[in-house]
Amino acid sequence: MELKSYTAQELWDWAFGSVPKFLLLDVRNDKDFARSKVEAPGLWVQNLSYIDFIEEEAESLGKVAAQKDQPVRIVCAKDGSARYVAEVLVKAGFSNVASLAGGITTWGDLLVHKLVHLDQEFELYQFQRPGKGSLSYALVGHAQMWVFDPARVLEPYLTLAKSKGVVITNLFETHLQADYVSGGKALAAATGAKLWGHPGDFAGADYKIGPVTDHQNWELSKNLAVTAIHTPGHTPGSTSYQIAGTFLLTGDALLIHSLGRPDLGGMWEPWAKEEFVTLETKIKAWPDSQILLPGHFSDWTERNPQGLFARSLGEVKALNPEIFLPMKEDEFLAYIQGRVRPQPEEYSVIRTLNLGQGEKSEAELKELDLGKNQCAASTH
Amino acid sequence: MGDIKVDQELDCRGMGCPLPVLKTKKAVGTMTSGQVLKMVCTDSGSNKDMPSWSDRTGNPILKREEQNGEFTWYIQVK
Ligand SMILES: [Fe+2]
C-alpha cells in the first residue's frame, strides 16, 4: 500500500488553520526532539523514538496518544524512520497517517511571508521562520526589492521578487547572526545586490560587505528612505534600520519580549554596558507610534492579531516594564547578569560561517541551521 | 584497548535511517551474550541513533571509528 506524505508548508497550513485536530508524532531521539521540535500554538505533539518502535512495537503503539481514527502526522530526521513508523501504525489500524517528506529540516527551512504594510510607495513583508523563531523582511517598491537579514534558503526571496517583477538590489544585515546561517553573501552573489553591514560586526568578513555608518541613508525614492541607527549591545555592530520614518527593524537590539542578550560574544559586561547606553539614549527615545519589527521571536504569543510579529513601541514599552522603567546602569547589569546562560555550541561555528570562513556541505548546513534561537536576554 | 575480536560483520553502507538500527537489532538477536558485532554504515544519523539504541537496549558500544564518511561500530551483545 502507498504511504501518504506531507510537506512542511502543509504542516504550517494545518497548524495555523482550522483543520481537525491531529497528532504530530516526532520519532527522533529525545535529544534531537528537545533541540528542534516543531512548535505552533495549540499543536498536539508527542515524542516517541522510532527506536522504541523497533525494540518494543506493541508497547510503543500503546503509547501513541491519538485514537486510531484521528490523523497522525509523523516527523523524523530525514523521512525513512517516519515512513517505518507510519507503516507500523497503518498495520495496527490507524486510518489517517502520513510522514513528513524530507524530514525535520524542511520545517527548519520553511519561510512564510506576510504583508506588514502596503501603500502607494512601498510594500513591506515579514518572512517568518517558524522552526527558528527568526524574522527577515523585504521592502518592495520602485521596481526594487531590499532584503533585511536574509536566511540561508534564498528561494522564498527570489520567488517574491519574481512574482512582483522587481530586482533585488540591496541587502542589509542588522548584525552578525549567531543562531542561523545568513543568506546575505549567497543572495548578493545570486542577484548582484549590494550587501551592507556594520563594521563593528563585519570588519573581519571574508566577503564584500559595505560598511554601514550611523545615520546612513538609502533612498528607494525621494519619498522613501531607509536610515541606519547604530544600536550596539547585543553585538558591537548591531544596527537598526528605520523604514519610512515609521518601521524599526531592530534585529535583536529590541525584541517584543526583552532585548537581545549581550553575552553571546563571551564578554557580557562590556557589551551590556553598551546595550544600556543604546537603551537609554536611543531606544527609550523612540516615539510610541513607531512599529517594532524584530529579528527574532521566542514565543508565538508575541504575534499580533494579524499574525505578525509587529508591535507599536507603546505596546512594547507596556510589555517590558522591567526594561523601560527608569533604571541605573548597575540595575541593568544585574538584570542582564541574571540572564547570562550557556549558548548552544553550534553558535560559534555559525558566527564563523557568517563571516565567510569555513566550508560546510549543504547537509551539514541544514543540520547546523536547525533549532529554535536563543537570542533574547531571558532566564531560559 | 587492543584489537577487538569481531564475531559477526554487518554492512549497512548506503542505507538510510531506520535500516542501520533495524539490521543491527536483527543481527544482535542471532548472536550470543558477549559476542561482538561490527557494523559499518554511512548514515550520519547513526551518530545519534546508535548511542541512543545502545542506551535503550543495554548492548554496549565498545568502539566507534570514522573514516572517509564511513562509521564503524563495535557492539557487544549484552
Ligand atoms: Fe542576534
Q: Is A366 exposed, middle or buried (0-12, 13-18, 19+ CB in 10 A)?
A: buried
Q: Taking the CA atoms of chain B, what radius of gyration do you get in angstroms?
A: 11
Q: Please provide the average confidence, as pLDDT, over all residues in chain A.
A: 95
Q: Which of B42, B47, B49, B54 to mutate to test the interface with A (most CBs of A within 10 A)?
A: B49
Task: With CB atoms and an 8 Å threshold, state whether A29 touches B18.
Answer: no
Show the 3-state SS of A287-353: CCCCEEEECECCCHHHCCCCCCCCEEHHHHHHHCHHHHCCCCHHHHHHHHHCCCCCCCCHHHHHHHH
Q: In chain B, where are the structural domains located?
A: 8-76
Confidence of residue A2 (pLDDT cuts 50, 70, 90): confident
Class for the domain spanning A111-368: alpha beta
Residues of A in contact with B48 (CB under 8 A): 29, 31-32
Residues of B in contact with A49 (CB under 8 A): 52, 56
What distances in angstroms separate CA A2 from CA A53, A74, A90, A161, one per listed residue? 20, 15, 11, 37
The residues of B carrying an active-site annotation are 17
Confidence of residue A307 (pLDDT cuts 50, 70, 90): very high
pLDDT of A20 = 73
Confidence of residue A347 (pLDDT cuts 50, 70, 90): very high
Q: In chain A, where are the structural domains located?
A: 4-106, 111-368
A41 or A269: which carries more pLDDT confidence? A269
Residue of B nearest to A32 (CA): B48
For B30, other C-beta atoms within 10 Å of its C-beta total 10
Check pLDDT > 60 for residue B1.
no
* Cα–Cα distance for residue pair A319/A313, rounded to 1 Å: 10
Q: Is the dihedral of CA A364, A367, A370, A373 positive or negative?
A: negative
Given a contact cutoff of 8 angstroms between Cβ atoms, the answer to whether A82 and A60 are in contact is no
B55 and A CB contact within 8 Å: no
* Cα–Cα distance for residue pair B71/B47, rounded to 1 Å: 8
Q: How many angstroms separate the CA of residue B57 from the nearest CA in chain A?
A: 8
Check pLDDT > 70 for residue A251.
yes
Task: With CB atoms and an 8 Å threshold, state whether A52 touches B56.
Answer: yes
- Domain B8-76 fold is Translation Initiation Factor IF3 (3.30.110)
* Cα–Cα distance for residue pair A122/A117, rounded to 1 Å: 8
Beta strands A123-129 and A134-141: pairing type? antiparallel
Q: Which of A51, A75, A88 to mutate to test the interface with B (most CBs of B within 10 A)?
A: A51
DSSP symbols for A45-108:
EEE--HHHHHH-HHHHHHH--S-TTS-EEEE-SSSHHHHHHHHHHHHTT-SSEEEETT-HHHHH
* Cα–Cα distance for residue pair A134/A151, rounded to 1 Å: 9
Query: What would the pLDDT profile of A25-77 be if each residue is shown by its tens digit?
Result: 999 999 899 989 999 888 999 999 999 999 999 999 999 999 999 999 999 99
B17 and A CB contact within 8 Å: yes
Check pLDDT > 70 for residue A257.
yes
Q: What is the ipTM of this complex?
A: 0.91
Q: What is the DSSP letter of A21?
A: P
Residues of B in contact with A362 (CB under 8 A): none
Instruction: Identify how many contiguous H helices and E strands chain A contains and give both numbers.
Output: 15, 18
pLDDT of A26 = 97
Query: What would the pLDDT profile of A308-343 be if each residue is shown by its tens digit?
Result: 999 999 999 999 999 999 999 999 999 999 999 999
Q: Is A158 helix (H, G, I), strand (E, B) or coil?
A: helix
Cα–ligand 1 centroid distance for A116 (angstroms): 22
Superfamily of domain A4-106: Rhodanese-like domain (3.40.250.10)
Chain pair A-B, CB pairs under 8 angstroms: 41
Query: What would the pLDDT profile of B43-71 be if each residue is shown by its tens digit?
Result: 989 999 999 999 999 999 999 999 999 99
Confidence of residue A16 (pLDDT cuts 50, 70, 90): confident
Q: Which of B25, B52, B75 to mutate to test the interface with A (most CBs of A within 10 A)?
A: B52
Task: With CB atoms and an 8 Å threshold, state whether A50 touches B18.
Answer: yes
Check pLDDT > 80 for residue A19.
no
pLDDT of A380 = 74
Given a contact cutoff of 8 angstroms between Cβ atoms, the answer to whether A135 and A373 are in contact is no
Query: What would the pLDDT profile of A274-291 be if each residue is shown by its tens digit?
Result: 999 999 999 999 999 999
Task: With CB atoms and an 8 Å threshold, state whether B53 touches A51.
Answer: yes
Residues of B in contact with A31 (CB under 8 A): 48, 52
Interface of A with B (CB under 8 A): 29, 31-32, 49-52, 54-55, 76-78, 80-81, 84, 363
Query: What would the pLDDT profile of A148-175 be if each residue is shown by its tens digit?
Result: 999 999 999 999 999 999 999 999 999 9
Q: Which of A264, A65, A255 is nearest to A176 (CA)?
A: A264
Check pLDDT > 90 for residue A269.
yes
Residue of B nearest to A77 (CA): B45
pLDDT of A51 = 96
Grid look-up 563571551 returns: A266
* Cα–Cα distance for residue pair A83/A159, rounded to 1 Å: 31
* Cα–Cα distance for residue pair A212/A30, rounded to 1 Å: 43
pLDDT of B2 = 61
